[in-house]
Amino acid sequence: MSLRFHHPPATLRFWRSLAKEALQAGHPTPCYIFSVEPLKEALGELDSAFGHLPIRHWLSGKTQPLRPMWQWWQKLGRPIEVVSEFEFRAAFAEGFTAERILVNGPAKHRWLPSCAVEGLWVNFDSVNEVKALAPLAKKLKWRVGLRLRTDEEYDPEAPEFPTQFGLGTEEVGEALRTLKRYKLPVEVLHFHLRTNVAGVANYRKALAEVRAVCAQYALSPRYIDCGGGFPPEHVIGFGGKFVDENFSLREMAKLYAEVLKWFSSCEEIWLENGRWFSARSGTMMVTVLDEKTGKAHRNLICDGGRTMNALVSNWEAHELLSLPERKGRKIMTTVNGPTCMAFDKLARRPMPESIRVGDRLLWLEAGAYHLPWETRFSHGLAGVLWHEGEKLIQVRAKERFTGR
């Protein structure tokens, strides 16, 4: 299958330039290179599309747990969404105040009491959470919401089954009775569909369900939290189509303007689009270690791959650049990582026959869910570099065995 990506030439030059700088500074591969510049670009696109609407953007902590990125976001005075104790404590360590932390995720009643502080935003995920945390929420003056499980949220591998997240319509009543006992008003109604949501129609259906819940239980939320799920650019999914083929920020803006009329009490819409926001901000660089060539196919074996560094390559195709840039006749090529797993396939597509051992390959759109899914399968963790201003700094050295 021949894949045609459409990055602007300036984007490709940008990543090649940073990769060359990393190599000149002596940083070994595999390594991730992240930059603040694409994040600024993404913020500009959000402001252009939604700036006329009352919308608050929360940084999705789980998507890219990268310290300098969190620090940059915190300095902008923007808020963060966390879904685990690890993320919660990290957010506090980086200076996020309680009123700029939104706690989501399942089973938080098992960890939140041990580190809870006054003034948090907390979206309850289950009836058990509400019952366990309501007394603490009252004591610590939390501002609370409910995560709803809409019909648009289902297991992507088995669509006939719902996900494990949120409250079903029949559970909302029990949760509300508990919250009423503690005089805790529901300020937020939240839902999150999944990653790579196809388009505005999916959100419209989910929001119609939220509207029906409001009518059924006479709720007047101040905030509608639509979660994340915007599909990133330049990523090809199953079937060879771009995941954002039917997606439009302009159409989403029209829907949000309409939604504000649906919910007369709503002061703000909240979004947590980590994937769309940060995917573009990173690349993974690997080195070709070996080559095996047959009649019509070859394998390039690299020092990084799917098993350790890019799990999303299991269901997505990303642009791969060669350094130096190679052109000419192409041959069907499988790019493999170094592990003893047939699963370790970063890409399979026609690539220039002139690529050789020692060349570097850059896997783009590596700024979302690559670091949190990284493994040590048979190898150490990759190096991590951060680019901001004129500086390319080492955040983490490539891991080596120390004997400890």
DSSP letter string, 225-267: E----PPPTT-B-GGG-BTTTT--HHHHHHHHHHHHHH-TT--
Per-residue pLDDT tens digits of the chain, which is 404 residues long: 567 899 999 999 999 999 999 999 999 999 999 999 999 999 999 999 999 999 999 999 999 999 999 999 999 999 999 999 999 999 999 999 999 999 999 999 999 999 999 999 999 999 999 999 999 999 999 999 999 999 999 988 899 999 999 999 999 999 999 999 999 999 999 999 999 999 999 999 999 999 999 999 999 999 999 999 999 999 999 888 999 999 999 999 999 999 999 999 999 999 999 999 999 999 999 999 999 998 889 999 999 999 999 999 999 999 999 999 999 999 999 999 999 999 999 999 999 999 999 999 999 999 999 999 999 999 999 999 999 999 999 999 999 998 76
Q: Sign (positive/negative) of CA torsion 112, 179, 171, 265?
A: negative
Q: Give residue 4's pLDDT.
A: 84
Angle made by CA atoms 3, 387, 396, in degrees to the nearest 5: 95
Cα gap 140→73, rounded to integer Å: 26
Nearest to 237, CA basis, from 245, 228, 226: 245
Beta pairing partners, 258: none
Please report which helix (H) or strand (E) contains residue 122, including its range: strand 121-124
| Domain 37-279 CATH superfamily | Alanine racemase (3.20.20.10)
Please report which helix (H) or strand (E) contains residue 145, including its range: strand 143-147
Q: Give residue 252's pLDDT.
A: 98
Beta pairing partners, 34: 282, 386
Domain regions of the chain by residue span: 9-34+280-393, 37-279
Cα gap 203→222, rounded to integer Å: 19
Beta pairing partners, 268: 223
Q: How many residues does the chain have?
A: 404
Q: Give residue 157's pLDDT.
A: 85
Is there a shared CATH topology between the 9-34+280-393 domain and the 37-279 domain?
A: no
40 token code pair = 């600024």
- Return all residues near 404 (Cβ < 8 A) that are at least 6 apart: none
119 token code pair = 């003034």
177 token code pair = 């009775």
DSSP 277: H
Angle made by CA atoms 22, 282, 64, in degrees to the nearest 5: 125
Angle between helices 85-93 and 67-75 (to 10 degrees): 60
Contact 274, 63 (CB under 8 A): yes
Cis preceding-peptide flag for 106 (omega within 30 of 0): no
CATH of domain 9-34+280-393: 2.40.37.10
* DSSP helix/strand/coil, 167: strand
Q: How many CB atoms lie within 10 A of CB 29?
A: 21
Q: What are the helix (H) ranges across 79-182?
A: 85-93, 127-139, 169-181
How far is residue 360 CA from its own chain's centroid?
Answer: 26
pTM: 0.95
Cα gap 288→291, rounded to integer Å: 8
Q: Give residue 73's pLDDT.
A: 98
